[in-house]
Amino acid sequence: MFIWETSPSCRFDSLVPKGIAMDLNTITGYRYARSRSDLLLGDAERFVAGGTWMFSEPQLEATGLVDLSTMGWPALEASDDGLRIAATCTIAELAEMPEHEGWAAHPLFFQCATALLASFKIWNVATVGGNVCRSFAAGSMVSLAVALDGAALVWTPDGGEYRMPVERLVTGNGTNSLAPGEVLRAVDIPAHALRARTGYRKIALAELGRSGAVLTGRIDEDGRAVFGITAATWRPTVLRYPELPDAATLRSDAASADDYYTDPLGTEDWRREVSCVLLEEIRQELAA
């Protein structure tokens, strides 16, 4: 059969891009947000951060864009509590983050950036927040946040705010729990995760293609171990252990994870298997 076999639910159908936008011809308004009061969306307005996804597909339901890049949020703020990554921090800024004493997890930042299909030129424009809010399974800023227990700081239209683990914010491939008008302000990475040793693997159907699976692993100073499966499962999968598990346990847990899926970037069975294989490579690295 040459017709691509589909999973019965066909739930990725909504993810097939609706085509190409040369220009966003339904957009008639473009305004820059400079204060929180500018963040109240009008009818059919959308937030735009880098714009690299927004301008890549038709946005027929939208008539106005509100540009967050002028909010003046510092891209990266380090403190004793950890690292605050502004939603408007570009991928390039994140990938070039200088090393910080004690943050053994530093390599993971660049690694997760490379998991993006996006070229380094897109890194110059695309943002961490945009990637998280698109919430694609292959969105590797989600991989990064999930690997490091990142929490989303969300501003609500009524002036309030709340925090939610990115692991839970992302509810599916291309969906999240953000309500209309809510803005992702930042992703906060706790210090204990930044001090952890980490491992990383990415695989796609082509060497640098859009990810079929992104695997992360982390061993904290207190010995707790956390493994992340993204891109391969419909929403982030996190496996937590009080100490580094043995190979059989990790494989069994990874293999029995829900939500492996089939789309043009990989089949469910392959995603499941390569996730197991590559997680084991990470486990061995972390055990060394």
Partner 1 sequence: MRFTVNGSERDAEPRAGQCLRTFLRDHEHLEVKKGCDAGDCGACSVLVDGVPVHSCIYPAQRIEGHSVTTVAGLGTPDELHPMQAAFVDHFGFQCGFCTAGMIVTASTLDEEQLGDLPRLMKGNLCRCTGYRSIRESITAGVAASGKAASSAATTAPAIELPETDAAHPRGARNLGSTGADDRPPSLIGRSVEPPAARRVVTGTEPFTFDTATPGALHLRVLGSPHPHARIRSIDTSAALAVDGVELVLTHHDVPALRFSTGRHEHRSDDPDDTRVLDDVVRFVGQRVAAVAATSAAAAEAACRRIVVDYEVLPAVFDPEEARSPGAPLIHPDRTPADRVDEAGRNVIATLRAGYGGDVDEALAASDVTVSGTWQTQRLSHAQLETHGSIGWLDDDGRLVVRTSSQVPFLTRDELCRLLDLPQDRVRVFTARVGGGFGGKQELLTEDLVAITVLRTGKPAVYELSRTDEFVRTSVRHPMRVAVALGASRDGRLTAMRVDVLSDTGAYGNHSRGVMFHGCAESISLYTSPVKRIDAEAVYTNNTPSGAFRGYGLGQVILGVESAMDELAIELGIDPFELRRINAIREGEVPLGFFGEPEPDMRPGGYGLDQCLDLAEQALRRGNGVEAPDGEHWRVGEGMAASMIATMAPGGHISKTTVTLRPDGSYVLGVGTSEFGNGTTTVHAQIVATDLGTSIDRVRLRNSDTDAADYDTGAFASAGTTVAGKALHAAALALRHVLVRTAATISGTDASACTLGPDGITVGGRLVGFAELIAAAPAEHRTGDGIAASAAEYGEHRSLAFNVQAFRVAVDVRTGIVRILQSVQSADAGTVMNPEQCRGQVEGGTAQAIGGALYEEVMVEEGRIQTPVFRMYRVPQMADIPDTEVLFAETSDDLGPFGAKSMSESPYNPVAAALGNAIRRAIGSRPYETPFSRDRVWRLARDAEASVAPIWTA
Q: What are phi and psi of 202, to 5 degrees?
A: -135, 140
Residue window 234-273: x/- pattern of binding to partner 1, with contact defined by CB under 8 A: -----------------------------xxxxx-xx--x
Burial of 176 (0-12, 13-18, 19+ CB in 10 A): buried
Q: How far apart are the C-alpha atoms of 60 and 63, rounded to whole Å?
A: 8
By CB under 8 A, residue 171 contacts partner 1: no
Nearer to partner 1, 125 or 164 (CB): 125
Binding part of the chain for partner 1, among 24-32, 72-80, 176-184, 185-193 by CB under 8 A, reads 24-32
Query: Cβ of residue 40: shortest distance to partner 1, in angstroms?
Result: 18
Nearer to partner 1, 67 or 253 (CB): 67
Nearer to partner 1, 25 or 252 (CB): 25
DSSP-assigned letters across all residues of the chain: --SPP--TT-GGGGGS-----SS-TT--EEEE--SGGGG---TTEEEESS-TTGGGS--TT--EEEEGGGS---SEEEETTEEEEETT-BHHHHHTPPP-TT-TTHHHHHHHHHTSSS-HHHHTT-BHHHHHHH--TT-HHHHHHHHTT-EEEEE-TTS-EEEEEHHHHEEETTEESPPTT-EEEEEEEEHHHHTSEEEEEEEESSTTSSEEEEEEEEE-TTS-EEEEEESSBSS-EEEEESSPPPHHHHHHHHHT-S-B--BTTB-HHHHHHHHHHHHHHHHHHHH-
By CB under 8 A, residue 274 contacts partner 1: yes
Query: Cβ of residue 87: shortest distance to partner 1, in angstroms?
Result: 17
Contact pick of 19, 98, 160, 242 for partner 1 (by CB under 8 A)? 19
Binding part of the chain for partner 1, among 35-43, 71-79, 171-179, 207-215 by CB under 8 A, reads 207-215
By CB under 8 A, residue 117 contacts partner 1: yes
Contact pick of 164, 239, 244, 277 for partner 1 (by CB under 8 A)? 277
Contact pick of 34, 121, 163, 240 for partner 1 (by CB under 8 A)? 121
Contact pick of 134, 185, 210, 251 for partner 1 (by CB under 8 A)? 210
Query: Cβ of residue 108: shortest distance to partner 1, in angstroms?
Result: 17
Query: Cβ of residue 260: shortest distance to partner 1, in angstroms?
Result: 12
For binding to partner 1 (CB under 8 A), which residues are involved?
A: 1-4, 6, 10, 13, 16-17, 19-30, 48, 51-57, 59-60, 64-65, 67, 69, 114, 117-122, 124-125, 203, 205-210, 212, 263-267, 269-270, 273-274, 277-278
